[in-house]
Amino acid sequence: MTDRADAELSAAETPPSPPVTVEDFEEVARGRLPQMVFDYYAGGAGDEWTLQQNREAFARWSFRPRVLMGGGFADLRTTVLGQDIPFPIMLAPTAFQRMADRYGELPTARAARSLDALMVLSTISTVPLEDVAETGVHRWFQLYVMRERELSAGLVKRAHAAGYRAIVLTVDTPWLGRRLRDERNRFALPPGIGLANLQGVEMPKPDQPGSSLAAYFGADHDFALGWNDLPWLRSLSPLPLVLKGVVTAEDTRLAVEAGVDAVVVSNHGGRQLDGAPATLDALPEVVEAADGRIEVYLDGGVRRGSDVLKALALGARAVLIGRPYLWGLAANGEAGVRQVIELFRDELILAMGLCGCRSVSEISRALVSPAAGVRGTDRGA
Ligand code: FNR
Ligand code: LAC
């Protein structure tokens, strides 16, 4: 055989390596997405310090695994707000999924549906909330409150009518954070993609300097929303209310007093206040303040099954993932989202098995301790 034929044969025999981590999916997605879209999904606010800290915080904890616990594969089943979910990993609301896949939120919902996972749909989705509901996915609705309050009231009523089972009010976004990548790229929605839930509402035109999303938030969103608006919000539907974007004990206590049902410890994936704490660092104080009275979830930087386990050991009832499934969606549509969710699920089963945890109820604070070399007064084991 000639050298050339030999080389061709071995190239044909060596398939490209399949994605085996979230970062592998991100690389595939990066190759498929226009730079403006990739940057919008990947980027954070300011220096992206908080974005980076969300990741690094997980490396500051190590496990205290137990051995010889028996029991076989771990049972991941749990509940959130009384609803059964097969594993404590949910899909965070992310905007504009038609930039990743032409069918947008639909393949995401179908993938979640196929695994019985719970999806939180964004107010600013690019497929109408009713169409997402038709997939039959377990669903909660994320709410942004507009200055024109009736628009948001209408969304809550539509979500309730369409079988969404909780309202997730995002509270860390009175204005959009300053995202330098989007400003440099003059971020704007590609033609044909719009705010599918908000008929007649247009994002500013792309010829304006800066991010058109930031301009839209500044113009249309209610930056004056306060604790005293929560009764109004609750009056719109009987659905439970979740606050997404709480990182302090003070706000957790106010949430409990306001009759909120759960909080998500979140800094919006480092996209809002740069300098906000890593969510895993903020989790213990929120859990302590909640004191079992409301459920606490976490998102931000969760990239491994072992990250999920650390968050649960520190008191989260469940986690949400954002960018990871967007990378799956961009890489391989519905199948890609499914692969990413399965990756988390299977890694969590393995991590729990290697830690001697047979079920979610066996995960406790004793499972983790500060990693060697990590200093800090509030992290004592
Ligand atoms: C978001 N996030 C978000 N949150 C929200 O309440 N409404 C929204 O419309 C969006 N949109 C959105 C778009 C994109 C591209 C990203 C990356 C994030 C925040 C999201 O719900 C979640 O808090 C973070 O994504 C969690 O961090 P990771 O998992 O992306 O690190
Ligand atoms: C974002 C908004 C839309 O993070 O939530 O881009």
- pLDDT of 7 reads 60
Say yes or no to pLDDT of 134 above 90.
yes
* pLDDT tens string 208-246: 789 999 999 999 999 999 999 999 999 999 999 999 999
Q: Name which residue sits closest to atom 9 of ligand 1, judged by CA.
A: 95
Q: Binning pLDDT at 50, 70 and 90, where does residue 364 land? A: very high
Q: What is the CATH number of the domain that holds 332?
A: 3.20.20.70
Which of 369, 379, 374, 377 is closest to 64 using CA atoms?
Answer: 369
Smallest CA separation from ligand 2 atom 6, residue: 95
pLDDT higher than threshold 80 for residue 43: yes
Asked about 268 being catalytic, the answer comes back as: yes
Interatomic CA distance for residues 18 and 24, integer angstroms: 8
139-162: average pLDDT: 97
Express each pLDDT in 256-297 by its tens digit: 999 999 999 999 999 999 999 999 999 999 999 999 999 999
Q: Which of 213, 299, 323 to mutate to test the pocket of ligand 2 (most atoms within 8 A of CB)?
A: 213
pLDDT band at 380 (very low <50, low <70, confident <90, very high): very low
* Short-list 282, 324, 281, 287, CA closest to 302: 324
Residue 139 domain-assigned?
Answer: yes
29 lies in a domain? Answer: no
User: Ramachandran region of residue 72, left (φ > 0), alpha (ψ -120 to 50) or beta?
Assistant: left
Is 351 inside a domain boundary? yes
Give domain status of residue 7, yes or no.
Answer: no
For ligand 1, whether the C-beta of 319 sits within 6 Å is no
Q: State the total domains in the chain.
A: 1
Q: What does the pLDDT read at residue 71?
A: 81
**pLDDT at residue 15 is higher than 80:** no
- Our answer on whether the CB atom of 221 is closer than 6 Å to any ligand 2 atom is no
Question: Mean pLDDT, the chain, as a whole number?
Answer: 95
Kindly report the number of other CB atoms within 10 A of residue 381's CB atom.
Answer: 10
Q: Residue 381: which pLDDT band, with cuts at 50, 70 and 90?
A: very low
- Containing structural domain, residue 71: 35-363
* Mean per-residue pLDDT, 310-332: 98
Q: What is the mean pLDDT of residues 305-331?
A: 98
Asked whether residue 84 is assigned to any structural domain, the reply reads yes
Residue 289 contacts residue 253 (beta carbons within 8 Å): yes
Domain presence at residue 371: no
- Domain membership of residue 170 (yes or no) is yes
Tokens of 356: 């001697």
How confident is the model over 330-341, as pLDDT tens digits? 999 999 999 999
Helix (H, G, I), strand (E, B), or coil: what is residue 168?
strand
Handedness of CA 284, 288, 290, 296 (dihedral sign): positive
* Domain assignment present for 368: no
Q: Ligand 2: does its nearest atom lie under 6 Å from the Cβ of 124?
A: yes
Question: pLDDT-derived band of residue 2, with 50, 70 and 90 as boundaries?
Answer: low
